[in-house]
Structure formats: C-alpha cells, structure tokens
Amino acid sequence: MRLLSPPGLAGIAILRVEASERDVVLAALQTAAGASVRVEMGSPAVRAELRLDERVVDDVLVVCRADGELELHAHGSAAVLDQLDKHFGVSVATADTPAARLAQQALSVEQFHLAAEQLRLDFAASVAAIEAMPTSGREAAVASALARSRVALAMVAPQRVVLVGRQNAGKSSLFNQLLFRERALTGSTPGLTRDAIAEVTTLGGYPYELVDTAGEGQALAAIDRAAIERGRSWRRGAMLALVVDGSVGPAAVDQQLLATSAVVIATKSDLAQAAWPPDFPRDVQVSVQDGGSESLRLNLGQMLQARRGLPPAGVVGGFAALDSDQYQQLIDLEADCHDTHSSA
C-alpha cells in the first residue's frame, strides 16, 4: 500500500492499493450494513468500514481509478496510518524530482497547478532537446526557459517579508490576520514583541516568509535594545512592509524606513484617522476588526507581486527549473551558447 498524499499528519490520507494486496484489503472492508465491498472502473466511490483485528478502525472511501487500481481515502491520523502499516505495510511515494516535491508540498492552488504542469514536462528531456537545436535557435530557447524559471522559482522559494515600524503600530495583529490565527502576542503594551516570529504562507499564490519583529521606539532596558537589533538583522535580503498606525500617522522613524520599504500598510482604520502627509504613500488600509481577511491577503500579494515584477502566479507555459540545480543547468547552457556564438 502506497501513500500518495504528502507524508505527515493530515486530515485525509490517500493510499493506493497494490494489485497483489487488492483481495486482502477488500476482505477487510464492508459496508455499514455488513455487505462486502465491490468496486469497478467507472463506478462511484463506496463508503466502507475498515475492520482490522475484529474492530472498526476507520470509515473510508474506496475509489476505483481509471487504471483499475484501488485507492483508499482514509483519515490521516497517526492511529489509522499505524494500523494500516501494521497490517498491509505503507510505503511513501518518493518525490524524486523537484516537480514531484512541489506537488507534495504545495501550499496554494497556484503552486499545485505549476507542479502539475511541470510533472507533464520532462526537464532533462527538454534540456536535451535544446542542446540538439541549431545554434541559431538554441540561445532564444534558453533565454525563454530562464525567464520562465525565474517565475517558477519565485513560486517555489518563499520571499522573506519583514513587518517593520514603530512599537504598537499593529504589526503583530496584522501578522495574525495574514495567517488567520493568533500566532503572535498582541496588546496595548509597547514593546510586547521581542523575539522575531517567522511563518511561511502564500499571498496571491506566491510563497512568503512573513516575519514579525520588535518595533522601533524607545528601548527602556537592555533586553529591549537587543530585541530591536535582532529584529533589524532579519531585514537583510528581505522585502520590508512598513506598518503605520493610521490613528497616529507617520512619524520620523517611519520616514526613515519608507526609503527601503516595498509597501506601506496603515492599520487601525476603524479608529479616527490622523492627518496623512500627501507625499507619504498608503498602499493598504486594514483594521483588526476585519479579522482574517482573504481580500487583504490577495491585495497585499498583488502589490508584492507587482513590486517584484512578477506575473500572476500559476503555470508558466513551458518547462522550467524548480530548484537551484536545474537553474544552474540552464545557466551553464546559456554560457555554452555564448561561447559558441563568440567562437563562430
């Protein structure tokens, strides 16, 4: 029995029944009325009880695939998977290519669509086809593949986005809103956030590592100064999202941070708003009263996407590199094209 869904605990586990164990597995299944389970190609999925050691272990769906093989859709708890492994042996489908790994680990529909596209395309065969092209067409083909790969890699590797701003500007509340859960402590006490918190999520289909850091402001103790410095260390190589308390308006420290910030988010829009300088951008307005807002995530994702010069997330229209090794192959191929062109 092979686990097709991503390994680890999940709501649902999808397992493929090998032909050699089909009869044994079917013998362990019965309907709620106690009848034997029969499934054929083209028939609808059958709900059944999985009975092992004379007791019901799980309530499952039995699916007959187009190729005639069976799938079990079971609950993904450790207790269920342990019982299946004990009686039938459960192996994990090996993700032996970057596309297969992305399919297993996809965090968004867009990532899954990219994985599905790349699974249909053989990267090694595509590279070999370019290598066999006449010199005149090879350079353009490599350039096109590299352009697609830059987009594909942006959909695979999370871009770090650090929330910056003054203490009590609402960074932690915004962080929780974007994650749809209470991940960071929030409150009216300035300096409540000391240790940086990082979480990976998707915004507009692209993956991002969001980082909540200690706010800029008066450090009353050595531990507060250290927290601010640690927070600043996360900014290297990151995009900055400047968070400004809309009820107070931008301060001098916000003006300093603006020059290196990719987007400005005004918080506490449910409160009376302070005067806002006409030359100070305000890309997004948000209130904690909105709760976890999918529209906020989408709007912020589209802004970050535009700042990065990326197209909408999804398929890229051809084979592309999905990791650094594949990308290096294309870079090497590009260098070979240039060498050939120079020596011609």
Span 150-188, pLDDT tens digits = 999 999 999 999 999 888 888 888 888 888 766 654 545
> If DSSP codes are grouped into helix, strand and coil, which group holds residue 338?
helix
Whether residues 209 and 231 share a domain: the answer is yes
CA 82 to CA 73: how far, in whole Å? 15
Label residue 341 by pLDDT band (50, 70, 90).
low
Among 55, 74, 92, where does a domain finish?
Answer: 92
**Sign of the dihedral through C-alpha 321, 323, 325, 327:** positive
Report whether pLDDT(41) > 70: yes
Cβ burial of 261 (10 Å; 0-12, 13-18, 19+) is: buried
Q: What angle do CA 9, 12, 14 make, to 5 degrees?
A: 105
Which stretches within the chain are classed as H helix?
22-27, 78-88, 98-105, 109-119, 123-131, 135-156, 171-179, 222-233, 252-258, 294-307, 324-343
Q: Are residues 122 and 88 in the same domain?
A: no
Give pLDDT tens digits for 291-308: 557 888 889 999 999 999
Sign of the CA dihedral with 164 first, then 165, 166, and 170 last: negative
Residue type, 254: D
- At 194 the pLDDT is 55
Q: Which of 68, 92, 116 lies at the terminal end of a domain, its last residue?
A: 92
Supply the mean pLDDT for the chain. 85
Residue 206: closest CA among 98, 313, 297: 313
- Percent of the chain at pLDDT above 70? 88
Banded model confidence at residue 336, pLDDT cuts 50, 70, 90:
confident
Check whether residue 225 and residue 249 sit in a common domain. yes
**Domain CATH code at residue 11:** 3.30.1360.120
pLDDT score, position 69: 83
Q: List strands edge to edge, sheet with 55-64.
A: 29-30, 46-52, 55-64, 70-75, 12-17, 2-3, 91-92
Please say which residue of 57, 92, 127 terminates a domain: 92
339 vs 304, more confident: 304
Same domain, 231 and 144: yes
Domain residue limits at 8: 2-92
Q: Structurally, how many domains does the chain consist of? A: 2
- pTM (two decimals): 0.71
According to the model, what pLDDT value does residue 270 have? 79
Helix axes 109-119, 98-105, angle to 10 degrees: 150
> Which of 36-45, 210-219, 308-317 reaches the highest mean pLDDT?
308-317
**Are 323 and 97 contacting, i.e. CB atoms less than 8 angstroms apart?**
no
Longest CA–CA span in the chain (Å) reads: 78
| Same structural domain, 67 and 143 | no
What CATH number corresponds to the domain at position 161?
A: 3.40.50.300
Query: For residue 50, what pLDDT is reported?
Result: 94
One domain, residues 100 and 88:
no
**Of 87-96, 221-230, 248-257, where does mean pLDDT reach its minimum?**
221-230
Instruction: Tell me if 80 sits within 8 A of 13, measured CB to CB.
Output: yes
Task: Kindly tell me if the per-residue pLDDT of 66 is higher than 80.
Answer: no
Taking residues 46-52, report their average pLDDT: 93
